[in-house]
Amino acid sequence: MLNKVTSSTCHICLEELSYKPKNIQKKCCPTKAFICNECWDSLNNNECIVQCPLCKWKFEGQDIETPMNNCSCQCSEEDIKETKLCIIKLLKCIGYELVGIVSFVLFIFNVHSIDTTFREEFNYLISSPLFWIISFFLGIFIIHMIYILYIIIEYIITEILKYLNI
């Protein structure tokens, strides 16, 4: 009975395989869910996987209490923090650039000469690398000026409220 050839789909690689049940390395799983020997070996040799993905049976020779974040296949907390900081800095730079471009567009729209159109003026500017550099720093300047204005207004309101409470 153990010498018969059976056909089943591996639950990991999803390939339909023919096999002899006595040759299968996986001995866990009360439901007898099939995992081929090749997938079973790769699961056993992966330091990040410490138990059967189907029945949660602990692999022999591996400590299931080992924290998974020490695994070499995962990012460390420091790497994740660095990535988040880089994304935040990138978004800030994009924001500065957008504020600068919008400011330039509004300025050009209001002061372009009668002899040229707004489109001609703008096309001339966007072809210059200096425009992009200036618009970035203009965006930084405008955002910081708005922040300073916010602090000043907050201070004035606080002082008025203190005066009214006395």
Structural domain includes residue 159: yes
Q: Establish how many alpha carbons lie within 13 A of residue 139's alpha carbon, considering only the half-sphere containing its beta carbon.
A: 19
Q: In this structure, what DSSP letter does residue 70 have?
A: G
Structural domain includes residue 25: yes
- Domain ranges, residue 12: 6-70
Structural domain includes residue 115: yes
Q: How far is it, in rounded angstroms, from Cα 43 to Cα 29?
A: 15
User: CA-based Rg of the chain, rounded to a whole angstrom?
Assistant: 33
Please calculate the CA angle 152-155-157 and round it to the nearest 5 degrees.
110
Q: How far is it, in rounded angstroms, from Cα 60 to Cα 161?
A: 70
41-86 pLDDT tens trace: 888 787 777 777 777 777 665 444 444 444 555 667 888 888 889 9
Q: How far is it, in rounded angstroms, from Cα 52 to Cα 55?
A: 6
Partners of 7 in beta bridges: 18
**10 Å Cβ neighbour count for 63?**
8
pLDDT at 166: 64
Regarding whether 84 and 153 lie in a shared domain, the answer is yes
Q: How far is it, in rounded angstroms, from Cα 47 to Cα 70?
A: 10
pLDDT at 33: 76
Domain boundary, last residue among 20, 50, 70: 70
Q: How far is it, in rounded angstroms, from Cα 38 to Cα 25?
A: 9
Domain boundary, last residue among 38, 70, 102: 70
Q: Which amino acid is at 11?
A: H
Parts of the chain with a pLDDT under 70: 1-3, 30-32, 59-75, 166
The contacts of residue 119 (CB under 8 Å, 6+ apart) are none
Regarding whether 87 and 60 lie in a shared domain, the answer is no
Q: How many domains does the chain have?
A: 2
pLDDT at 132: 87
